[in-house]
Amino acid sequence: MTVAPSIDIDRAQAETPGCQAVLHLNNAGAALQPRPVIDAVLAHLHRETEIGGYEAADEALARREQVYHSIARLLNAHRDEIALVDNATRAYDMAFHALPLRDGDVVLTTRSEYPSNVIAMLRAQHDRRITIRYLPNEPTGELSLEALERELGDPRVKLVSVSHVPTQSGLLQPAAEVGRLTRARGDVWYLLDACQTAGQLPLDVQNLGCDALAATGRKFLRGPRATGFLYVRHERLRELDPIPVDLHAATWTGPESYELRDDARRFETWEQHIAGLLGLGAAAEYALGWGLDAIWERVQALAARLRALLADTPRVTLRDPGVRRCGIVTFTVEGLAAAEVKAALAARPRRINVTTSTVNSARLDFAERGLDTVVRSSVHYYLTEQDLEEFAAAVRSLT
Ligand SMILES: Cc1ncc(COP(=O)(O)O)c(C=O)c1O
């Protein structure tokens, strides 16, 4: 069987130095970086050592500006709607804490929301006395659109926050349908956490209908660690009052005054990891070069193949809910803790990388599904079918 042949796997592998040494199924943690990303980062670090940090930044000005274009292109947004930040959590928090939420306002979210997002909401519940409502799920695991529509009838609802794919499973939430429903209400904010979908599947903010979107560089986008970005829809930008702001996000205009920037860079800080951001831009261009449709097609096909192989493995139970599932494949092995599976796979002659998801990341979801910890494997387009067979054989050898 040839899985999604539109990607040139030989080239993808040749351009991924790490994939010889390791069998990397931790792309939902941090994917292996491709050569153009590594080159962009290293070249800038070299320039910093050769001519100085500020001077290298000046020299790279046009390339730095290009990063905004690249991320905007990835999302079908405008460059002024993009802020480059350290990670998805920072992106999410900058938008969330800037929202004009007040006593009595209601925030709707999913039962599989990323824990840091929930912690931000809990903080606002404490400080600003908002109410958090967790939407019920369909029996298949997605948030209930019917319940969302009903809840949106309540004028106190001010925000809908959705993790497109949660951290602990391959579930794909109906993000565009959520966008259509929230748009129909007009004034409600829709904040989409696309941390696990950026670089994995096509993201079009016009179609998704979100007002803000947070994502990270290091996961399926294959960028450097500690890079991320925030998109904020231009029409709504002025409704957001960021905390904190520095001299890059705002101008100190007088002893008693400052003026916020009127683009999304009001969410940035002056000091930035320039080498990392150039690497992020290279990662976006690299993904666009393959085409997000082609990447998504292959990721889905590889994930389906991996699920079929694992379904055939004794004592293994697949754990992903959802009608449509992504490249994250979670499972448990009877009689073995997830951490033991991870350690045993890492100890193989050709190291196999997976990670685990614990109940701390999935309080509601895991409680409802009777889970405590799962093994989280995650495929990407540069893996081969032989890689998946090697992986499944390694899991089988543990059982
Ligand atoms: C769904 C989701 N949202 C947000 C994050 C946080 O991303 P970051 O570590 O870049 O802040 C993660 C990280 O695993 C995630 O899985």
CB 330 within 8 A of CB 174: no
The confidence score (pLDDT) of residue 9 equals 97
pLDDT at 2 over 80: no
What pLDDT, in 10s, does the model give residues 243-291?
999 999 999 999 999 999 999 999 999 999 999 999 999 999 999 999 9
Residue 342 has pLDDT above 70, yes or no: yes
Atom of ligand 1 nearest to the CA of 165: 1
Tokens of 261: 């920037």
Structure confidence by residue, pLDDT tens digits, 320-340: 999 999 999 999 999 999 999
Kindly tell me the burial class for residue 2, based on how many C-beta atoms sit within 10 Å of its own C-beta (0-12, 13-18, 19 or more).
Answer: exposed
Q: Which two tokens stand for residue 360?
A: 């701390």
- Which residue's alpha carbon is nearest to atom 16 within ligand 1? 167
Whether the pLDDT of residue 386 is over 80: the answer is: yes
Q: Take residue 21 and report the two structure tokens written for it.
A: 């040494």
pTM: 0.97
Please report the atom of ligand 1 found closest to the CA of residue 166: 1
Residue 112 near ligand 1, beta carbon < 6 Å = no
Tell whether ligand 1 has an atom less than 6 A from the beta carbon of residue 196. Answer: yes
Residue 173 in contact with ligand 1 by CB distance below 6 A: no
Quick: pLDDT tens for 6-60.
899 999 999 999 999 999 999 999 999 999 999 999 999 999 999 999 999 999 9
Quote the pLDDT of residue 5.
57
For residue 137, what are the β-bridge partners? 143
pLDDT digits (tens, 9 = 90+) for 143-174: 999 999 999 999 999 999 999 999 999 999 99
Q: Is the CB of 332 under 6 A from ligand 1?
A: no
> 47 CA to middle of ligand 1, Å?
31
Determine whether the shortest distance from the Cβ of 263 to ligand 1 is under 6 A.
no
Q: What is the per-residue pLDDT across 58-93, written as a single tens digit (0 to 9) for each?
A: 999 999 999 999 999 999 999 999 999 999 999 999
Task: Provide mean pLDDT across the span 216-238.
Answer: 98
pLDDT of residue 337: 98
Whole-number Å distance, alpha carbon 253 to ligand 1 midpoint, is 36
Host H or E run for residue 331: strand 328-333
Atom of ligand 1 lying closest to residue 29 CA: 14
Tell me the one-letter amino acid at 219: K
Average pLDDT taken over every residue of the chain:
97
User: Is the pLDDT score of 375 beyond 60?
Assistant: yes
| DSSP conformation class of 267 | G
